[in-house]
Amino acid sequence: MMSITNLQDQYDVVVVGAGPGGMAAALAALRTGVDSVLMVDREVEPGGILNQCIHNGFGLHHFGEELTGPEYAQRFLTDLLDHHIDIATDCYVLDVTPDRLVTLMSPSVGVRQVLAGAVVLAMGARERTRGAIRIPGRRPSGVMTAGLAQKFVNQMGLLPGRRAVILGSGDIGLIMARRMTLEGVEVPGVFEIMPHANGLTRNIVQCLHDFDIPLHLSTTVVEIHGRDRVEKVTVAPVDERLQPDLSRARTIKCDTLLASIGLIPENELSQKLGLRIDPTTAGPVVSSTMETSRDGVFAAGNVVHIHDLVDFVSQEALLAGENAARYVTGRRPPADNIKLNAGTNVASVVPHTISSDREHTVYLRVRHPLEKSWLRLGEVYEKRLRYVVPAEMVSLKVRPRFLEHFHGDSLTIDIVPRDEPGREEM
Partner 1 sequence: MKDVTIIGGGVIGCAIARELTRYRLDVLLVESEVEVGFGTSKSNSGIIHGGHHTEPGTLKGELAWAGNQRWVRLAQELGFGFRRNGDLTVAFDESDVEVLERIALQGRERDIPGVEIWGPERIRLEEPNLNQDIIAAVDGPTAGVVNPYEACFALIECAVANGLELRVNAPVTAIEQGADGLLVHAGGDEIPTRFVINAAGVHAEKVARMVGLLEPSIRGRKGEEYLLDKRLAGIVQRTIFPCPTPNSKGILVIPTFDGTIMVGPTAQAVEDLDDVTTTAVGAASTFDLARRLVPGISERDCIAEFAGVRAVAADNDFVIGPTSVAGFFNAAGIQSPGLTAAPAIAELLVTMLGDAGLDLSPRPEFRRTMPRPVHAASISIGELTELAERDRDFARVVCRCELVTEAEIHDAIRRGARTLDGLKFRTRAGMGRCQGGFCTPRCMQLLAADADGGMSDITKRGDGSWLVLDRGDLRGEEVPA
Ligand X SMILES: Cc1cc2nc3c(=O)[nH]c(=O)nc-3n(C[C@H](O)[C@H](O)[C@H](O)COP(=O)(O)OP(=O)(O)OC[C@H]3O[C@@H](n4cnc5c(N)ncnc54)[C@H](O)[C@@H]3O)c2cc1C
**DSSP result, 71-95:** HHHHHHHHHHHTS--EEE-S-EEEE
Task: Establish if 313 lies at the interface with ligand X (CB under 6 A).
Answer: yes
Give the range of 23-31, 122-130, 200-208, 309-317 binding partner 1 by CB under 8 A.
Answer: 122-130
DSSP code for 196 = S
DSSP annotation of 194 reads: S
Q: Give the single-character DSSP code of 129.
A: -
Return the number of the residue (48 or 160) whose C-beta is nearest ligand X: 48
**Quick one: 249 or 416, whose CB is closer to partner 1?**
249
Nearest to 106, CA basis, from 42, 47, 19: 42
CA torsion angle 396 398 401 406 (round to 10):
110
> Is residue 186 a contact point for partner 1 (CB under 8 A)?
yes
> Within 10 Å of residue 111's Cβ, how many Cβ atoms?
10
Closer residue to ligand X (CB): 14 or 354: 14
Q: Is 248 in the site for partner 1 (CB under 8 A)?
A: no
Does the protein bind ligand X through residue 49 (CB under 6 A)?
yes
What is the torsion angle, in degrees rounded to the nearest 10, for the CA atoms of residue 368, residue 369, residue 375 and residue 378? 0
Question: Which 283-312 positions form the footprint of ligand X (CB under 6 A)?
Answer: 301-303, 307, 309-311
| Nearest C-alpha neighbor of 43 from the set 124, 118, 103, 101 | 124
Q: Measured from the CB of residue 17, what is the shortest distance to ligand X in angstroms?
A: 3
Q: What stretch of H or E contains 161?
A: none
Nearest residue to 308 (alpha-carbon basis) of 102, 131, 52, 58: 58
Q: Which residues contact 286 (CB under 8 A, 6 or more apart)?
A: 292, 298, 299, 304, 350, 351, 352
Tell me how far, at minimum, the Cβ of 227 lies from ligand X, in Å. Answer: 13
CA angle 357, 282, 300 (to 5 degrees): 50
When asked if residue 266 is in the footprint of ligand X (CB under 6 A), the reply is yes
The site partner of 307 among partner 1, ligand X, none (C-beta below 5 to 8 Å per kind) is ligand X
- Rounded to a whole number of angstroms, the minimum distance from the CB of residue 4 to partner 1 is 14
Q: Is 5 near partner 1 (CB under 8 A)?
A: no
Total interface residues for partner 1 by CB under 8 A: 55
List 65, 66, 183, 295, residue binding partner 1 (CB under 8 A): 183
* Residues between 198 and 227 with contacts to partner 1, criterion CB under 8 A: 222-223, 227
The listed partner (ligand X, partner 1, none) that binds 16, CB under 5 to 8 Å by sort, is: ligand X
For partner 1, what does the binding mask look like between residues 79 and 108, x meaning CB under 8 A? -----------x-x-xx-------x-xxxx
Site for ligand X in 106-125 (CB under 6 A): 122-125
C-alpha span between 149 and 229 (Å, rounded): 16
B/e letters for 408-418, b = 16+ CB within 10 Å, e = fewer, are eeebbbbbbee
Q: How many residues bind ligand X (CB under 6 A)?
A: 38
Give the integer Cα–Cα distance in Å for 94 and 88: 14
Question: Is residue 50 a contact point for ligand X (CB under 6 A)?
Answer: yes
Sites of contact with ligand X (CB under 6 A):
16-22, 40-43, 48-50, 53, 57-58, 92-93, 122-125, 147, 150, 171-172, 175, 266, 269, 301-303, 307, 309-311, 313
Sites of contact with partner 1 (CB under 8 A):
42, 90, 92, 94-95, 103, 105-111, 126-127, 129-132, 134, 136-142, 144-145, 147-148, 151-152, 156-163, 183-186, 222-223, 227-229, 231, 253, 255, 268, 271
